[in-house]
Structure 1
Amino acid sequence: MTETPGWSSPDQQPNQPQQQPPPGYYAPPPPMPQPSIKPGVIPLRPLGVGEIVDGAISTMRRYPKLIIGAAAVVAAITQIIGLLVQLPFLKDLTAAVSVDPNTVSQEQFVQQLTDSLVGFLGGTALSGILALLGTVFLSGYVTVIVGHAVLGEPVTFAQAWDEFKPRLLRLLGASLLSTLVIAIGVIFCIVPGIWLGVMFSLVTPALVLERCGVGTAFGRSRALVNGAWWRTFGILVLSYIIGAVISMIIALPFSLLGSAATGFSDDPAVALSAGSLVLSAIGGIIASTITLPFSAAVTVLVYVDRRMRAEGMDIELQRAAGHGGI
């Protein structure tokens, strides 16, 4: 993609002289409908919602080892490390919830439960940070692959990594900044947080594909979403619902196995057993392997669709794909 002109923003493209029609008395014939050009996973024209979802699925099917394999590794690392972080606090927490309040003073019981809960929640927060880092990496990596998939180009892991590696630190900074801005919006009121989340939802593909800075990526996302906020919101919500349903379907058998392993006990100490957490982690790995790259691919294709609608990028992509445009 370093040699592909189609991903550069309009500000990066040189001004090209307008071609004047040849003189004559006859008006040009009316434009004929052109067939859709589809060198890769999507037709190179403004997309419908179904085409965006289908394009994300097609990308995962076309590059299963690159996408599913990488997602499985990232999900396994984050889930396993998160589980290992939580386990040291699990024994203290289960011991605290198992204590009979009648055998100790109320102050001791509350203090022991609070200390154990704080430690467990701290481990959970650290697990969440690890999951965020894994999601950031996977989103940028998948963005590179989708960029090739749109043009129908072959790509290897080494090639995708070489293209993504220089953007990793900037993407991490942009993701942390975006998370902070959205969190502030949510604290003041949920609606501003949602609005900001959608407005800056295209920062990752803009930063990775256009190879721009963090501030420029935020500006590009805002410019592309502006005027199409509700459509962007609807597509992202649809992808979230699809991912949530897939996660629920995958996690349900592991949840039932965990409950069966504990004899469907209502005892909190039993419910927080290491075995149930391990089964939950396995279900999370499988679910994340599918849902994370799907959501990332949908976001990239929303970005591509917005650029084709707002900036006429379909012409540039057709040229990059070797079709010379319409």
Structure 2
Amino acid sequence: MSETPGWSSPDQPQNQPPQQPGQQPQYGYNAPPPPGGQPTIKPGVIPLRPLAVGEIVDGAITTMRRYPKLIIGAAAVVAAVTQILGLLVQLPFLDDLTAVVALDPNTVTQEQAIDQLTGAITGFLTGTLLSVFLLLLGTVFLSGFITVIVGHAVLGKPVTFAQAWEEFKPRLLPLLGATLLSGLVISVGLILCIVPGVWLWVLFALVTPALVLERCGVTTAFGRSKKLVDGAWWRTFGILLLTVVIGWVISWIISLPFGLLGAATTGFSADPTATLSVGSLILSTIGAIIASTITLPFSSAVTVLLYVDRRMRSEGMDIELQRAAGHGGL
């Protein structure tokens, strides 16, 4: 995938043979499109032409169905590891939180209550930060790994776990750095004002596929994402928002039975400490694992296909991909 010329950016050399005198120019980034209407070529999960929103969503679902062991398997492992470790990290602070919730104001002084509350909050925040960091690591790995698989799926190429990992491995640390940097920039934008944060989120939404597929540096990936989103911010925002909504609905549908089952184990008690029971947290974790196994690959695949769509629209990459897929005279 990354070895094919189809994913290189327009600024990178295309490794094409020199044009001979009198020879017609090769169709690519800097050449005019072929004359006349061309039949739609679909070697993989999407047609190699600018995509409609429904085709992007359908392409993401089709990719998950064609590569279930790679995508669903990897997502299940990542979700299970991150969620279970997060649960284990927070369990030691469960008793402190339960004790704070159950405090009787008639039997403790204000200073004792503040001390217990401070200790519980500190422990809970520490556990939450560790859980978020674990989730970040898992999400970075999964998004980059799935990016490689979707790149093969677009071209209709088979891929094994070993091949995908070998292609993604050199990109792991740069992708982690890019994810942390974009998260920091977007968080600052959200803190200052929500609108700049949302604007930056959309502007840098394509950093991961640019960095992994084009094998470029972190700063170059940010520039590539900005260039691809420029002029199509609202369309990109709409597709990303639709993806978030679909993921939220799927998560809610999957998590609802586990939430109800957790409430049933406590007899639907109104006691706030019941929601902090080990049993209810375990059930919530199971629901989160199942939901993440579906939603994380879906959102990652949509992002990659959105990146492909933007490049086909703005850079004529469909011609390059047709060559890489074995069409167009190759």
| 1:160-171 → structure 2 map (5 Å cutoff) | 160-171=164-175
Structure 1: 5+ residue stretches without partners: 23-29
* Partner Cα separation in structure 2 for residue 85 and residue 41 of structure 1: 40
User: Is the CA contact (8 Å cut-off) linking 2:2 and 2:215 kept in structure 1?
Assistant: no
Q: Give the structure 1 partner of residue 63 of structure 2.
A: 59
Q: Which residue of 2 aligns with 1:282?
A: 286
- C-alpha contact 2:190 2:196 (8 A) present in aligned 1: yes
Q: For 1:325 and 1:247, how far apart are their aligned partners in 2?
A: 45
SS at match of 1:243: helix
Equivalent residue letter for 2:7: W
Aligned to 1:260: 264
Structure 1 match to 2:110 = 106
Q: Distance in 1 between matches of 2:49 and 2:323?
A: 13
**SS where residue 11 of structure 1 aligns?**
coil
1:71 and 1:292 in contact (8 A); partners too: yes
Q: Which residue of 2 aligns with 1:26?
A: none
**Quick one: which of 206, 214, 227 aligns to 2:218?**
214
* Aligned mates of 2:326, 2:185 — CA distance in 1: 41
Gaps of 5+ in 2: 25-33
Alpha-carbon deviation of 1:196? 0.5
Q: Out of 145, 150, 157, which is 1:141 matched to?
A: 145
Whole-Å separation in 1 of the counterparts to 2:235 and 2:139:
24
Q: How far 1:17 moved relative to its partner?
A: 4.7
Do the aligned partners of 1:315 and 1:325 also contact (CA within 8 Å) in 2? no
* Amino acid of the structure 1 residue aligned with 2:312: M
User: TM-score, normalised on structure 1?
Assistant: 0.94
SS in 1 for 2:11: helix
- Structure 2 CA distance, aligned partners of 1:286 and 1:18? 57
2:46 is the alignment partner of 1:42? yes
Letter paired with 1:172: L
Which sits farther off after the overlay, 106-115 or 191-200?
Answer: 106-115
Q: Distance in 1 between matches of 2:60 and 2:44?
A: 11
Whole-Å Cα distance in 2 between the matches of residues 273 and 282 of structure 1? 15
Structure 2 letter corresponding to 1:300: V
- Structure 1 distance, partners of 2:22, 2:315, is 21
**Residue 21 of structure 1: how far off its partner (Å):** 8.3
Question: 2-side partners of 1:2 and 1:106: how far apart?
Answer: 62
1: CA distance between counterparts of 2:250 and 2:262? 19
CA contact (8 A) 2:250 2:295 kept: yes
Q: Which moved more, 1:286-295 or 1:31-40?
A: 31-40
* Contact 1:318–1:325 (CA under 8 A) maintained in structure 2: no
Normalising by structure 2, we get a TM-score of 0.93
- What residue is the counterpart of 2:190 in the other structure? 186
For 1:206, what is the secondary structure of its paired residue? helix
User: Following TM superposition, by how much is the alpha carbon of 1:13 offset from its aligned partner in structure 2, in angstroms?
Assistant: 2.5
What is the deviation of 1:121? 2.2
Distance 2:268 2:21 in 1: 75
Moved more, 261-270 or 168-177: 261-270
Corresponding residue number in structure 2 for 1:8: 8
Farther-moved stretch of structure 1 (303-312 vs 30-39) = 30-39
1:323 is paired with a residue whose SS is coil
Q: How does 1:84-95 map to 2 (within 5 A)?
A: 84-95=88-99
Aligned length: 319
In 1: Cα distance, 2:308 partner to 2:288 partner: 30
Q: Out of 312, 315, 319, which is 1:311 matched to?
A: 315
1:19/1:307 CA distance change after superposition, 3 Å? farther
**2:96 is aligned with what amino acid?**
D
For 1:181 and 1:229, locate their aligned partners in 2 and report how far apart those are by CA, in whole Å: 18
Deviation at 1:3, TM superposition (A): 2.6
* Preserved CA contact (<8 Å) 1:316 1:325: no
Question: Any idea what SS the aligned residue of 1:101 has?
Answer: coil
Determine what percentage of the aligned residue pairs are the same residue. 76
Residue 229 (structure 2) pairs with residue 225 (structure 1): yes
Per the alignment, residue 100 of structure 2 pairs with 96
Runs of 4+ in 1 over 3 A off after TM superposition: 14-22
Cα RMSD for the two superposed structures: 1.7
For 1:12, the aligned partner's letter is: Q
CA distance in 1, matches of 2:189, 2:257: 36
Q: CA deviation at 1:34?
A: 2.1
Instruction: Kindly state the Cα deviation for residue 306 of structure 1 after the two structures are TM-superposed.
Output: 0.4
Q: Rate the CA distance shift 1:36–1:325 in 2: closer, same or farther, 3 A.
A: farther
* C-alpha distance in 1 between matches for 2:194 and 2:318: 36
SS in 2 for 1:265: coil
Q: Distance in 1 between matches of 2:20 and 2:239?
A: 36
Distance 1:41 1:303 in 2: 15
